[in-house]
Structure 1
Amino acid sequence: MSAIAGIFNASGRPIEPGHVARMLEPMRRRGPDGASTWHSTTAAMGHCLLRSIPVESDATQPLASAAGDVVLVLDGQVHNRTQLTSALRSAGARLRDTSDAELVLHAYEAWGQACCDRIIGEFAFFIWDGRQQLMFGARDAAGARHFYYHRTPQRLAFASEIRGLLALPDVERRVNSSRMLDFLVDDFDRDDEIGTLYEGIDRLPAGHAMQVDRSGMKTWRYWDPKDLTAAHFTSLEECTREFMAVVDVAVASRLRHTGAVGAMLSGGMDSSTIVGLISGRHRSELCEPLRTYSLALEDRTVCGDWQAVSQILRHDPWLRATAVGSQQGEAFAHKLDAALTDADEPFGVLSAMPYQLLFERAAADGCKLIFDGMAGDTLFYSPEKTLAMAVRQTRLDLAPALVRAFHRHEMFGWGAKQAGRSIAARLTPAPLRAAWRAREREQRLRSGMLGLLRPGVADALVGAREKAKRQPGPSDIEQHAALFTSGLLSFAQERNGAMAGQFGLETLSPLADRRVIEFAVRMPLAAKLALPWYKHVMRNGTAGLLPDEVRWRRSLEGHPGWNFYEHMQRGLRAQWPSGSPPAGFFEPVGAWVDLAAVARLWPATNNGLLSHSDDRVLSLAIAAKWLRLNGFSGP
């Protein structure tokens, strides 16, 4: 994971000397192995290198074409190198080397702006085309890499981190109120794929490209899986074999490395499958044993995830395992200020703090690459989504299998309740159904974080999000594709990638590979449904790679992450002698939140640890701290 930055002055005004170097400086942690810049009169770009793959795969960047009139900066990796190299040579390209940057540069020269549809990988790149006097940028399909940009009528500036843009003297530090509300109300935290917490600083959504020239800026989606056609197999067994083959290709294409390689291992099917494939089929390609990183409850005997991880470790002693216990959440409270100061946005600190502890350990072990199971939950339909589909399509024939599946996954009580609600909603006359929904909406506005917002703010927020919500088409492919184009996956990718980048780590997500996603979207419905088991294709496909106790694990609950936050809140309270936050602590969020309501809430939570159902105090505390530490006093 490197850092990129650049400026284009559409007005024709010369770029100030040193501006791009100034943008790179605060991002050096993402690329500690060297920094370079390139500039012309109206365009300039820079690159900070993280050398995580063999030197022959890396090119010095910014990289210029042979003629010098096309220049590239790339953050990321190309994962269809063999196919892309062959296609380029067939198109007449004269490759100077086989680096990823060289391939992307020649892809642009060969196919122009259609090149991004030819590249499979985890990438964000910008190209200056001096022939046409324009900047062209793109982001990979799943959003594994990202960049931010600040645009005025006269100039475009982009950078891998927001702090790179803030290094420019004319980029103001102003809060985007809409995005702050998204942070506070986590139902909406991934709905806005463009805005950031900084007014005037935006991101390019995943699977999109952009062009900026003197006439203005335009963006477009170049990848949309809803346009795929259904795949056909002679049996589910054939589908399973081909699915695992595609996943194996995605894993293998990410194994270029220098030094130690790490992998997240939760004991669930996604991360366990990645670890099983690396160990079972690609062990000889690693310089040393794979290092795994897991979260666990303080009492490991009651931690379902750790029990599954332990089964894997007994099955495969080649692995080098590290576990971080939930009690470390309390220690993290003492590093919270530093974490929030380091964070461009506080989303990751709130929703993924335990993973930051794992990234820190992996970096200390010398890892520069770490695999994860990101996107696995979107490749298949959960029991909840399977039930919703069955009710929507009135599939009464699936009822017996649904009952067995919910019982098998220890969700029978929840499933029966949801089924009853869904069936009742279908049978209720339209006028009564509308009244019911209106009543539920009013109750929602008065509860949770929405109930703490200032008068009128909650209603306006929910109304705006409801209006902006996109409804996918009726077909299974359209419904499934929407999971990958809604911001759900790219939000998590960006959050984890930003945290890993703080430690000079590059995250790799084989299950978010475009080839894997497209295969999953095209699979027959029977392969996706949680019948007879959730992720049964993956469970059957890992025979011989994983212990049966892991493959046929019943419970879908037991993730230890929440317990880390309980400990973090304990650590925060220990810093306050009275057990309550100092006077004025929540004032930075007063523009959005009813502080009197917060004052009434605090005593109710002060006598016990944070509950699973009420994380409002922690969200408010993190928001207030982040605003204060980053020099904000309000919108």
Structure 2
Amino acid sequence: MCGIYGIITDRSVDIFRMQEAGNMLGHRGPDASGIWTSKNNRVGLGHTRLAIIDLSANACQPMSNEACPGCGRRNGSNFITYNGEVYNFQEIRADLEKKGHVFKSLSDTEVVLHSYEEWGEKCVDRFSGMFAFAIWDEKNQRLFLARDRIGKKPLFYYWDGKLFAFASEMRALLALNISKSVDLTAVYQYLTYQYIPAPHSVFENVFKLPPAHCLSLQDKKISVKRYWSMDFSKKIEVNSEEDLSADVFARLKESVRKRLISDVPFGAFLSGGIDSSIVVALMSELMDEPVKTFSIGFEEDAYNELPRAREIAELFKTDHHEFIVKFDALNVLPELVRHYGEPFADSSALPTYYLSKMTSDFVKVALSGDGGDESFAGYDRYYALKLMRKFRYVPGVLRSLSLKALDIYGESAGKSRTKRLKRFIQGSLYPQGLEYLHWMTAFSKEHTRSFYGPAMQDVMSQDPYEYLITLFKRSSAGDIVEKAMDADIHSYLPFDLLVKVDIASMANSLEVRCPFLDHGLMEFAASIPPEYKLNGRIKKYILRKAFKGLVPEKVFTRQKTGFGVPVSKWFRHDLKDYISDTLLSRVSLDRGYFRPEAVRSIVSEHISGKKDHGARLWTFLMLELWHREFMDT
């Protein structure tokens, strides 16, 4: 795993700027770095390396497709800067060698480069893995960028019609001296979803290359194309649950096996939930030595997964390590904001950062269970969506009264059942089809007039729900639950979960691999009839069947906790003064995003315990800290 960056300009490449961009990505690649410039000095590619496969200098980048005695690889016709892992690179290499290609390293980078030489832009169809790369084609004077199907590896780019620049992270892109002006539409999306979906970014003229897309730049013309998509419409015929369970087991085990290829030590994140337990169980079967496992917890019992993780670690006799988060807001939050580069309000980025930091002290690669919920229907909201069909038969008046009755108990914080029930009922008061949007947003459309200030007036006429509504409409799934799963795979998964994990882990020079995100496995999961994923109230039905006996039954039956953070409690106690001083400061209120009286009301209501605004306050806080880090300095 690495950091990549580059520039195409009408002027000479500024080596100082290139070096500064590389410095901004040093955490992504602490083992080596390099810069290549074209002979006319109009094109520059940069790379920082985290060495995982082929630790020799032969695998350093930027790399060319031909070796030149005395001058390294400078005289090639194609040049690459690459971030990721292509797990089937050995099979592709064998095919290329039969076609006469000669390799100078054992790395997957060189395989990607020669694949482009052999198959052109169609090379991406052959790759199985996670990647973001750029290839400069000297012969055709073309830049080719590509990103993996699911969106594991990030890729930002800037284009103003004259200057083109790209980088793995926003800070590196800014170091290439691009202009920066806040995109208010992106801020509107951030406030709605707590992340900014591709292709937008927080800055105008800065874009994210969407997952499963490639980009070509030639003669100052850009072409962005999708090369892969999920298909939920084609379903397999299930002859027996036993056969289907065996197939799921075998495919997931193979996915884990492929992700154990490494020339450096590796381990696994372990929460004690279904997905991470399955990954650790399969690793234990495939490895000759104890799996190194890593878990994190909080002092608050409701958010502490350590006892569950410890049970699994003991069962599979892993080399287990634990860490308790003790929040240091003044030091950690600004650092997180710098790494994420744009407003990002998933508070579980905090424990993910701490977990990655601890893990990186022992290994350079970790496997995780991310992606299992989206492919096998693991979220409670999927069952809620199914249940909503029946609940809507209850008269709206009674639903409204039940909501008022629950208000008598006061505002519940965190993961209480009362809070979840209230959120479910609130969703039922929206028009059919929009309840899921309510559950997936921090600020609803109703909040815009009461919360948002003058700076947001020009974008408030836009429908913030249009983004998710479009994903539901274009889904090939015929079942409402699968439509939600499909929408999550194209939104929440790549732009929230995977961003969170990539940035938090790479900030600590740690590569994270996700067996559940193997695109072949995901395609297979999409082809399974929906009743084998959500069967009645049983989530991940076929996954439970497949791993029954290997993973303890209680792992499947206990309540899902998720990777939550007790921000509501922190904002009422340890961080009460911090949140007040930050959000109610004159600098913050004068930005104009929110009506000052609305912010004061939200802070007051939360601290007093009248209402739980924890998630909204975190969203406000991340936006304000981002402004201080990227716009005020």
Q: Secondary structure at the match of 1:615?
A: helix
Choose which of 328, 331, 335 in structure 1 pairs with 2:332: 335
- Deviation of residue 219 (structure 1)? 0.3
Deviations 1:541-594 (A, max 9, x none): 2234322221x32323x4462325633663333558xx7558625626732111
Whole-Å separation in 1 of the counterparts to 2:573 and 2:430: 42
Letter in 1 for 2:569: E
Partner of 2:270: 265
Whole-Å separation in 2 of the counterparts to 1:320 and 1:630: 39
8 Å Cα contact 2:79-2:137 kept in structure 1: yes
2:118 paired with 1:106:
no
Partner of 2:20: 22
Partner of 2:397: none
- Structure 2 gap segments, 5+ residues each: 67-74, 394-415
Indicate how the Cα distance of structure 1 residues 393 and 548 shifts in structure 2: closer, same or farther if over 3 A, else same: closer
- Deviation of residue 35 (structure 1)? 0.6
Whole-Å separation in 2 of the counterparts to 1:581 and 1:494: 25
Percentage identity across paired residues of the two chains: 24
Choose which of 566, 570, 573 in structure 1 pairs with 2:569: 566
Partner of 2:349: 352
- Structure 1 gap segments, 5+ residues each: 397-409, 427-432
Q: Secondary structure at the match of 1:320?
A: strand
- Deviation of residue 346 (structure 1)? 3.7
Choose which of 282, 303, 324 in structure 2 pairs with 1:277: 282
Letter in 1 for 2:185: S
Report the TM-score, using the length of structure 1 for normalisation: 0.83
8 Å Cα contact 1:589-1:620 kept in structure 2: no
The worse-fitting range, judged by mean Cα deviation, of 52-61 and 80-89 is 52-61
Indicate how the Cα distance of structure 1 residues 425 and 207 shifts in structure 2: closer, same or farther if over 3 A, else same: closer
8 Å Cα contact 2:455-2:591 kept in structure 1: no
Whole-Å separation in 2 of the counterparts to 1:249 and 1:57: 30
Indicate how the Cα distance of structure 1 residues 626 and 505 shifts in structure 2: closer, same or farther if over 3 A, else same: same
Letter in 1 for 2:147: R
Indicate how the Cα distance of structure 1 residues 172 and 624 shifts in structure 2: closer, same or farther if over 3 A, else same: same
Q: Where in structure 2 are the equivalents of 1:114-193 lying within 5 Å?
A: 114-169=122-177, 171-185=178-192, 187=193, 189-190=195-196, 192-193=197-198
Letter in 1 for 2:320: R
Q: Where in structure 2 are the equivalents of 1:196-595 lying within 5 Å?
A: 196-226=201-231, 229-279=234-284, 281-284=285-288, 289-298=290-299, 300=301, 305-325=305-325, 328-329=326-327, 331-347=328-344, 350-363=347-360, 365-381=361-377, 382=379, 384-386=381-383, 388=385, 444-447=444-447, 451-454=450-453, 457=456, 460-461=459-460, 463-468=462-467, 469-470=469-470, 471-473=473-475, 475-476=477-478, 479=483, 480-486=485-491, 488-531=493-536, 533-550=538-555, 552-556=556-560, 558-559=561-562, 561-563=564-566, 566-567=569-570, 570-573=573-576, 581=582, 584-585=585-586, 587=588, 590-595=591-596
Deviations 1:331-363 (A, max 9, x none): 345432333334412416745212111112112
8 Å Cα contact 1:586-1:620 kept in structure 2: no
- Deviation of residue 90 (structure 1)? 4.5
Q: Secondary structure at the match of 1:141?
A: coil
Partner of 1:88: 96
- Deviation of residue 383 (structure 1)? 5.2
Whole-Å separation in 2 of the counterparts to 1:487 and 1:378: 9
8 Å Cα contact 1:340-1:629 kept in structure 2: yes
The worse-fitting range, judged by mean Cα deviation, of 200-209 and 618-627 is 618-627
2:80 paired with 1:72:
yes
8 Å Cα contact 1:77-1:121 kept in structure 2: yes
- Deviation of residue 454 (structure 1)? 2.1
Letter in 2 for 1:563: P
Indicate how the Cα distance of structure 1 residues 261 and 57 shifts in structure 2: closer, same or farther if over 3 A, else same: farther
Letter in 2 for 1:606: I
8 Å Cα contact 1:224-1:481 kept in structure 2: no
Whole-Å separation in 2 of the counterparts to 1:415 and 1:631: 40
8 Å Cα contact 2:152-2:498 kept in structure 1: yes
Partner of 2:8: 8
The worse-fitting range, judged by mean Cα deviation, of 499-508 and 451-460 is 451-460
Deviations 1:480-500 (A, max 9, x none): 544423453343212220121
The worse-fitting range, judged by mean Cα deviation, of 383-392 and 236-245 is 383-392
8 Å Cα contact 1:264-1:372 kept in structure 2: yes
Whole-Å separation in 2 of the counterparts to 1:393 and 1:599: 39
- Deviation of residue 375 (structure 1)? 1.2
Bigger relative contact order, structure 1 or 2, given CA contacts below 8 A and separation 6+?
A: 1
Report the TM-score, using the length of structure 2 for normalisation: 0.83
Indicate how the Cα distance of structure 1 residues 183 and 303 shifts in structure 2: closer, same or farther if over 3 A, else same: closer
Q: Secondary structure at the match of 1:308?
A: helix
8 Å Cα contact 1:58-1:101 kept in structure 2: no
Whole-Å separation in 2 of the counterparts to 1:450 and 1:270: 41
- Deviation of residue 57 (structure 1)? 11
Whole-Å separation in 1 of the counterparts to 2:304 and 2:478: 33
Letter in 2 for 1:167: A
Deviations 1:446-501 (A, max 9, x none): 44x77311279489547433344411346448835444234533432122201211
8 Å Cα contact 2:58-2:104 kept in structure 1: no
The worse-fitting range, judged by mean Cα deviation, of 92-101 and 368-377 is 92-101
Whole-Å separation in 1 of the counterparts to 2:165 and 2:592: 30
- Deviation of residue 304 (structure 1)? 7.3
Indicate how the Cα distance of structure 1 residues 238 and 420 shifts in structure 2: closer, same or farther if over 3 A, else same: farther
Whole-Å separation in 2 of the counterparts to 1:596 and 1:47: 47
Q: Secondary structure at the match of 1:210?
A: strand
2:616 paired with 1:616:
yes
Q: Secondary structure at the match of 1:496?
A: helix
Letter in 1 for 2:452: L
Whole-Å separation in 2 of the counterparts to 1:255 and 1:467: 40
Aligned pairs, number: 589
Indicate how the Cα distance of structure 1 residues 263 and 385 shifts in structure 2: closer, same or farther if over 3 A, else same: same
Q: Secondary structure at the match of 1:292?
A: strand
8 Å Cα contact 1:295-1:560 kept in structure 2: no
Indicate how the Cα distance of structure 1 residues 476 and 276 shifts in structure 2: closer, same or farther if over 3 A, else same: farther
Choose which of 29, 32, 42 in structure 2 pairs with 1:31: 29
Indicate how the Cα distance of structure 1 residues 124 and 450 shifts in structure 2: closer, same or farther if over 3 A, else same: farther
- Deviation of residue 276 (structure 1)? 1.3
- Deviation of residue 422 (structure 1)? 6.5
8 Å Cα contact 2:271-2:305 kept in structure 1: yes
Whole-Å separation in 1 of the counterparts to 2:316 and 2:449: 47
Q: Secondary structure at the match of 1:593?
A: coil
Q: Secondary structure at the match of 2:34?
A: strand
8 Å Cα contact 2:369-2:514 kept in structure 1: yes
- Deviation of residue 56 (structure 1)? 6.4
RMSD over equivalenced CA pairs, Å: 3.7
The worse-fitting range, judged by mean Cα deviation, of 592-601 and 486-495 is 486-495
- Deviation of residue 114 (structure 1)? 0.6
- Deviation of residue 18 (structure 1)? 4.1
The worse-fitting range, judged by mean Cα deviation, of 530-539 and 141-150 is 530-539
Indicate how the Cα distance of structure 1 residues 536 and 412 shifts in structure 2: closer, same or farther if over 3 A, else same: farther
- Deviation of residue 600 (structure 1)? 2.9
Whole-Å separation in 2 of the counterparts to 1:292 and 1:20: 38
The worse-fitting range, judged by mean Cα deviation, of 233-242 and 138-147 is 233-242
8 Å Cα contact 2:213-2:226 kept in structure 1: yes
